């Protein structure tokens, strides 16, 4: 009963100062984060730690140098959402080592990936002009670093820079090309071929051989049910193309995956960094 009295006292005190009683750690995190943001520490730290040459969304170095003071280096954790569909897009993200997947939700609740972006591109670019909300849901597929810039700030810079406008035009073209190819892929190609193509694209963009991917996540990428992924993964492992343990997939033989991928890999890899 002592414990109950102590809890009641805590609840009374928090109620008096109008603070939710369930998550005090959360409030502290919020205070720390907002204090850092108010002081601009994230931006200052990022500027200090940026090496002289950085890769930012395929931008030429002259444009990178121009944008450098406006970029914030940020760490993206796997499975974090950058936006949900119809969210306001406050930041444009340029993945460095992170890889971002964009999804659409199907009527039956399944999801399907419509775009995957690494260091070759940027996420959120269709919302740069105007106030268009996020077209797709964007989620971190491979955790890592990315540079981000406020959407309003990038829009302002675009107004004065023809080279930046040309870059954005090229980026949007590449984005449309990828989405168009994904439509063909998702509609006409066998699931195993699509799985191989997707793994190769992930490897090109992350430069990794090992991924933290559950079968449930892969099912959400391919728009299939989990048992289909279990069968495919087993089949590819028997062919020594991949291996896996719980929640992790390893690419054992890239050439075998290439042979089993669909033609979309060749088409889409010109967008990527392979
Ligand atoms: Zn395909």
How far is the centre of ligand 1, averaged over its atoms, from the C-alpha of 27 (Å)? 46
pLDDT (tens digit, 9 = 90+) per residue, 208-230? 999 999 999 999 999 999 999 99
Cα of 12 vs centre of ligand 1, distance in Å, is 60
- DSSP H helices in the chain: 2-16, 24-39, 41-49, 61-67, 151-160, 162-188, 191-206, 215-222, 226-238, 254-260, 264-269
CA atoms of 117 and 103, how far apart (whole Å): 12
pLDDT digits (tens, 9 = 90+) for 90-142: 999 999 999 999 999 888 888 999 999 999 999 999 888 777 899 899 999 99
Band (261; pLDDT cuts 50, 70, 90): very high
Give the pLDDT band of residue 270 (cuts 50, 70, 90): low
pLDDT tens-digit readout, 54-87: 777 778 888 888 888 899 999 999 999 999 999 9
Per-residue pLDDT, 5? 39
pLDDT at residue number 51: 64
Residue 176: per-residue pLDDT: 93
Q: How many angstroms separate the alpha carbon of residue 197 from the centre of ligand 1?
A: 7
Q: Does the pLDDT at position 198 exceed 90?
A: yes
Residue 2, sorted as left (phi over 0), alpha (psi -120 to 50) or beta, turns out to be alpha
Ligand 1 center from residue 134 Cα (angstroms): 25
What is the pLDDT confidence band of residue 88, given thresholds at 50, 70 and 90? Answer: very high
Distance 2 CA to ligand 1 centre (A): 64
Residue 94 alpha carbon to ligand 1 centre in Å? 25
Residues near ligand 1 ion, CB 5 Å cutoff: 185, 189, 262, 264
pLDDT tens by residue, 27-55: 444 544 454 455 444 444 444 456 667 77
Looking at residue 162, its pLDDT comes to 93
Q: How far is the CA of 137 from the centre of ligand 1 (A)?
A: 21
pLDDT at 196 exceeding the cut of 60 = yes
Ligand 1 centroid to residue 199 C-alpha, Å: 12
Distance 160 CA to ligand 1 centre (A): 39
């Amino acid at each position: 009963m002592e414990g109950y009295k102590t809890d009641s006292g805590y609840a009374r005190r928090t109620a008096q100062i109008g603070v939710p009683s369930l998550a005090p750690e959360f409030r502290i995190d919020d205070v720390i984060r907002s204090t850092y943001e108010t002081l601009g520490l994230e931006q200052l730290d990022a500027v200090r730690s940026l090496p002289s040459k950085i890769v930012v969304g395929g931008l030429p170095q002259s444009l990178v140098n121009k944008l450098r003071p406006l970029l914030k280096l940020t760490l993206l954790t796997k499975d974090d959402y950058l936006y949900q569909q119809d969210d306001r897009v406050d930041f444009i993200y340029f993945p460095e080592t992170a890889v971002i997947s964009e999804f659409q939700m199907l009527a039956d609740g399944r999801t399907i990936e419509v775009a995957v972006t690494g260091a070759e591109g940027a996420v959120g670019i269709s919302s740069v002009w105007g106030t268009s909300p996020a077209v797709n849901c964007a989620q971190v597929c491979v955790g890592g670093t990315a540079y981000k810039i406020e959407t309003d700030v990038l829009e302002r810079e675009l107004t004065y820079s023809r080279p930046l406008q040309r870059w954005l035009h090229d980026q949007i073209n590449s984005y449309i090309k990828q989405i168009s190819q994904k439509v063909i892929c998702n509609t006409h190609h066998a699931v195993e071929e699509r799985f191989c193509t997707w793994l190769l694209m992930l490897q090109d963009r992350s430069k990794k051989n090992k991924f933290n991917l559950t079968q449930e996540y892969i099912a959400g990428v391919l728009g299939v049910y989990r048992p289909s992924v279990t069968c495919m993964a087993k089949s590819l492992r028997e062919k020594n193309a991949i291996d896996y343990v719980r929640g992790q997939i390893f690419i054992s033989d890239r050439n075998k995956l290439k042979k089993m991928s669909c033609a979309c890999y060749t088409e889409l890899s010109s967008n990527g960094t392979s």
